[in-house]
Amino acid sequence: MQKSEDAAIRMKNINYIIGSDDIETTPLQTYSINICEFLNELSSKLIKSPILREYPDLSSLAFWARKANIQKIKKLMCNGLVNRMGRGLCFHITPSNIAINSIFSYFFSLLAGNANIVRLPGKDFPQINYICNLIKDCLKNYPEIENRTAFIKYDRDDEINAMYSALCDCRMIWGGDKTISTFKNYSIKPRCIDITFPDRYSICIINSESINQASQEQMLRLADNFYNDTYLMDQNACSSPMIIYWLNDNKDGRNKFWNYIADCVKQKYNLQDAMAVDKYTKLCEDAIHYNNLGDISTDTNLLYRYEIKKLIPDIYELRGKCGYFYEYSLKNFNELCKIVNEKYQTVTYYGINPELLKEEIISNNLKGIDRIVPIGQAMDIDVNWDGYNIIYSLSREIIVK
């Protein structure tokens, strides 16, 4: 069996959750039958699990990995697909604050045809423990994939990071700018491909007139969707909106929207004591340090809203958490485009034409905004993320003429 650099990977202080240091690194064909069947079996078992009621992110994972969705994604990228293979061994450095990203990262690279070493978050997420046990069980029926899979845990360690970086053929680096900078300093193979997911910033655009016209049923659904985009991850995800931009702004529309959000949050959200203190501290710090902020609106400690007086280039430094939002009355899309930079990732929307916003992004030659999705889809991670087509980036094409 071919190993990384013809040797098994051995080092102390590495905890192998799945697999071992004896890993096969040769690539497979992109979207191979075995890989697709493995993901579908995993999805089927996960869908039947009662744990999905407790962890919505596992439900999203199960829905994404089902056969129908994988075939849909495969069909969309069918051009040149038969001539694509993985690059070899992929090393995944996954975020510590979003539990399920590590599993999605593995799925994407697996579909590309790679062997995978996935460094799991150090924090003990119950849903990660559950899905790892399920993956381990399913892998028994797919030895070709099992031999190419390792899920590991270890404390921050430059020697281990450097070792895996030197051995791999591609890296998926999820984390802040500091994490990416650290991994960029390690030596890698000349043909190693890095896909990096640095700090990004996301916003929401809402048409007040559409809120005024919305029925009770529509507002209940909208509030639930907004909750999933924001409170579900305590606004920790890079795709969670920080600023709400109001088009055709009016007081009635704003009040109607936030009243529904407040009711939804009171029913569903559990604000931890430590988070409540941090959130209030943030409110006080903003009041002291930012002259560009105006009125403050609160609904108990669950919902804070801070009015922005003027759009400035560094507005993306305003970051809330656990139900802390900034608001601005937007005149038009062009006003927003003047301050967008490469930090901007996702725009969620309600009551606007996304095609018009897309045209503004293109016509203004913007470096930022990679996704424009309805409210409720901020967390819907897919093979197209942060401007990358991940499957294509993690695979190679064999040219035949």
- Residue in 12, 151, 32, 131 with CA at minimum distance from that of residue 91: 151
What's the confidence (pLDDT) of residue 123? 82
Backbone angles phi, psi at 258, to 5 degrees: -70, -30
Q: Is the dihedral of CA 375, 381, 383, 388 positive or negative?
A: positive
DSSP 118: E
Q: What is the pTM of this model?
A: 0.89
* Tokens (6 digits) for 387: 């401007």
How are beta strands 293-299 and 303-308 bridged, if at all? antiparallel
DSSP states along 299-346: ETBTEEEEEESS--GGGGG----SSEEEEEEE--HHHHHTT--TTEEE
**Which architecture characterizes domain 201-374 according to CATH?**
3-Layer(aba) Sandwich (3.40)
CA–centroid distance for 74 within its chain = 21
* Tokens (6 digits) for 90: 């992929």
- Measured in residues, the chain has a length of 401
* Tokens (6 digits) for 165: 């970086």
Residue 255 contacts residue 246 (beta carbons within 8 Å): no
Backbone angles phi, psi at 41, to 5 degrees: -65, -40
What's the confidence (pLDDT) of residue 41? 96
How are beta strands 15-18 and 241-247 bridged, if at all? unpaired
List beta partners, residue 22: none
- Residue in 232, 231, 235, 241 with CA at minimum distance from that of residue 350: 241
Q: Render pLDDT for 63-78 as a digit per residue (tens, 0 to 9).
A: 999 999 999 888 877 6
* Coil, strand or helix at 18: strand
For the chain, what are the domain ranges? 4-199, 201-374
Residue 148 contacts residue 63 (beta carbons within 8 Å): no
Residue 116 contacts residue 109 (beta carbons within 8 Å): yes
List beta partners, residue 374: 349
* Tokens (6 digits) for 209: 């007139």
* Coil, strand or helix at 6: helix
* Tokens (6 digits) for 396: 């190679």
Task: Classify residue 376 by burial, with Cβ atoms within 10 Å: 0-12, 13-18, 19+.
Answer: middle
pLDDT < 50 stretches in the chain: 1-8, 80
Q: How far is CA 385 from CA 367, 380, 393, in A?
A: 15, 10, 11
- Residue in 375, 330, 319, 314 with CA at minimum distance from that of residue 350: 375
**Which architecture characterizes domain 4-199 according to CATH?**
3-Layer(aba) Sandwich (3.40)
What's the confidence (pLDDT) of residue 11? 63
Distance CA 28, CA 267 (A): 47
Distance CA 345, CA 322 (A): 20
Distance CA 368, CA 353 (A): 19
- Residue in 290, 298, 348 with CA at minimum distance from that of residue 323: 298
